[in-house]
Chain A
Amino acid sequence: MLEMQRIVARGVVLFCLFWLVSVTTVSFAAENSALIAVVLSDNIQPYNDAVKGFKNYLSQRKTNIKTVDYALNEYKENELTGVVDKILSNKQNLIFTIGTYATKAIQKSARDTSVVFAMVLTPDKVGVSPPGVIMDIPSAVKFDNLKKILPSVRKVGFIYSADSLSLFEEAVEAGNKFGFQIIGKRIDSGKEFPSAFEDIAGQIDCFLMVADAKIYFPKSVEYLLRESCDRNIPVVGLSSNYVKAGALVSFDCDYEDLGEQAAELALKIMEDGGSLNAQFVTPRKVKFALNLRVVEMLDIKIPAGVLKEASEVFGK
């Protein structure tokens, strides 16, 4: 009888141990099998590059995270609310949004789910909240690079509107640190651009464009690039597309690396158990594009070594 009791007791203990281990294992596995919804504003290459970087980072870290993709351009405007509700109802651990459109749509409705974004420019102006990786390259970074590419430049022209006033102020502060004098002109609409440029063209060695849709649209950009070539004023464009069209240089983010930065941020938030990082993260990798044809037309001497560092060279 006693022997039987011992056997039963051992069996119960073993069973309890087995149960405890299996439950722990299952819950551990479940905890590590996370889901991230990837929501794109549109199906365009820059956004796709950011997604690629995001997923590559997760894959390299060997995380047990699954992703499911949504592209908002596939839905009509009146379907947007329904799509967002559907995404939020999937109970993913985190939502990664790419571009302003997707970020605003998700942030508006997401209450209990962490949201991390990437590929948003001037988030304050467009009503996007942190956390996320922005595309704004700090003026200090631009001027630091500009000093190496155009060492003789001292006076930088800057046309802005009320929408980009803060960017102008940032540029003035950064310019002072790097020895640049910022010659600014404020306008209220793009129609005033030609006269504003005319006013400052005689005083500047270089012109810095700013991401302000009120001022810069295809016609004003065409005017700027044409006039600057005529007046021998190099232009720092908004992206490599502007360099291809006639700006001398541009400073661009590496979109894939932005995605990787966003993945780092996302993992940090998920590991912290959902606590939010209330800051915008700036791009850590900045590359620049050059137009050699413009270099030649403006008769500029680019320091040796700079050409090799350029990520894109146009006008070959």
Chain B
Amino acid sequence: MNMKYILRSVLLSSIGLVSLGWISFWFTTLNALGPDGESALLQWYFDNLVLSDEIISSGMPWEDLAVSLYNLLAQMTTALLSVAVIAALAWSIGSHFLNVDAPGKAKFYFIYWIIFTGIFMAIVVGIVFWFTKSSTFNAADYLSGSGVTTISIISFIYYFLVYYLGVLLGTARFARSSILFGNKIPVSSLL
């Protein structure tokens, strides 16, 4: 397989990943830096993600719990972004090895993509589940049901989109019919 074409795929996939992935990177950085006493983010977490009443009644200082929550979210988003990047790059490189040797054959590999994407989403679910139910972080015990749902839904949608943009641009040209709407990409020497 021509290495030049594979490197091109890696580059295009990276562009796709960066186009949305920077938000995750920024969010991770914010969380890694820890809570800032008066930030809107901290307030939003308190209002939407945690069991506020239980925290107040337990007498645990919110500031201490917030550090743990920030840490949890920083590590979870790092893991999710890493998985999305690895999955998108792996598919982009691997697509060059799909045996699309005849006209009309690419679409038969759609099932491969569905399975691959299914595995990716299962990993995303596993990561979210592990972090939100983990005993490693104190904050996990105080996450509300609606907070877990919010984290899960945002993670599934967002990291799927990051991954999808990565594979959409990175898939080998001849295998584009194997991914959802891949054949809608316009013909261009840049793509």
The finding on whether chains A and B are genuine partners in a shared complex, rather than unrelated, reads no
Which residue numbers of A lie inside 8 Å of B, CB to CB?
none
Which residue numbers of B lie inside 8 Å of A, CB to CB?
none
